[in-house]
Structure 1
């Protein structure tokens, strides 16, 4: 296990830096977005919160859509990892994931101050404690395999069929983690959000 992470440590650092850069750009984008757009989002979000307790969502539909979205992303990363030439798109996906998270949290904090921090902790962080590490791991695995495939075609490194099988199984395990994240996103985060809205 130590060798596994040691071999991939530079990639972990690289992918993490890309993700953090996405968060930073997302948080900065909140300040640079046109005021009228930000005001529209603010009004929409306020209206949503006012009627949050009255909204009746189908939990089965929500969890199904969340699982489909996350599994689709894992499949895309898996494909990009074995395509070699499309591998840079993995970094774009990681950056965008960070950007969305940074923009969401940045918007809540910018518009609602302390209340925004509390809402972010309740509605954004629980599922992302699982989802974000899973995406980062998936990106590292995909890039690592892609580099190995490239070296194989250059005659610099050997590659076996078992390597692709291991890669696929690793992605399958991460897919299961993402299913867990989707369940938290659907059943736990909304419950926490309702509690928070009750007090603020």
Structure 2
């Protein structure tokens, strides 16, 4: 019964905000494509410098010098909470939703550049490395980014409609803000899980892939 309730609630939420979801997802995909394109615009010297640092990092991973998993967990958790929290705050600022879109686009650029650079420099090995080290946690992080961007944009639009188009628009701030706040709190559980994957699982997968590539 509870599972059916949550499924119904999620379905209703997606249906209600489907236009915003469509726009946000297209924007994020555009960011990924743009990030991948940037890789090809780098000069040979820039690629060599970046690959040098990347090789140095891979060497540290292979030697088990990536730091304590607990420290990586804290770093990943607080970084993503700050990022999503910034989008959440911008949603309250009424006119902040263009910045929300820019932040999400830039996050897509980072993902696209990371994958694109690995593939550009390492070919199929780079694709495999990106698949096992970037995909697992991002299967959770990316939906969180999109969800926060959607509810922040929707909340900002509701506030603007309430202020500038008062007639014929019902908006009760306290219950709406309470739902908005609880939605952000709920995402922290997903961020914690994703950060745990990034801290405890991704380094081990990366180490095994690097070892197999080096053979």
TM-score by length of 2: 0.90
Aligned equivalents of 1:53 and 1:196: distance in 2? 10
> Cα RMSD over matched residues?
1.1
- Which residue is equivalent to 1:18? 27
The Cα shift of 1:49 comes to 1.6
TM-superposition CA deviations, 1:147-179 (whole Å, max 9, x none): 111111121422221110001101111122111
Which residue of the other structure, out of 85, 92, 105, is the alignment partner of 1:75?
85
Q: Say which is worse superposed, 50-59 or 106-115, in terms of deviation.
A: 50-59
- Whether the aligned pair in 1 keeps the contact of 2:35 and 2:111 (CA below 8 Å) is yes
Which residue of the other structure, out of 187, 195, 198, is the alignment partner of 1:174?
187
Aligned equivalents of 1:192 and 1:146: distance in 2? 40
The Cα shift of 1:46 comes to 1.5
- Whether the aligned pair in 2 keeps the contact of 1:74 and 1:175 (CA below 8 Å) is no
**1:106 aligns to 2:119 (yes or no):** no
Report the count of equivalent residues.
Answer: 200
Aligned equivalents of 1:28 and 1:5: distance in 2? 31
- Structure 1 moving runs of 4+ over 3 Å: none
Which residue of the other structure, out of 47, 61, 80, is the alignment partner of 1:38?
47
TM-score by length of 1: 0.96
- Which residue is equivalent to 1:93? 103
Aligned equivalents of 1:4 and 1:47: distance in 2? 45
Q: Say which is worse superposed, 24-33 or 56-65, in terms of deviation.
A: 56-65
Aligned equivalents of 2:181 and 2:84: distance in 1? 10
Structure 2 residue ranges without an equivalent (≥5): 1-8
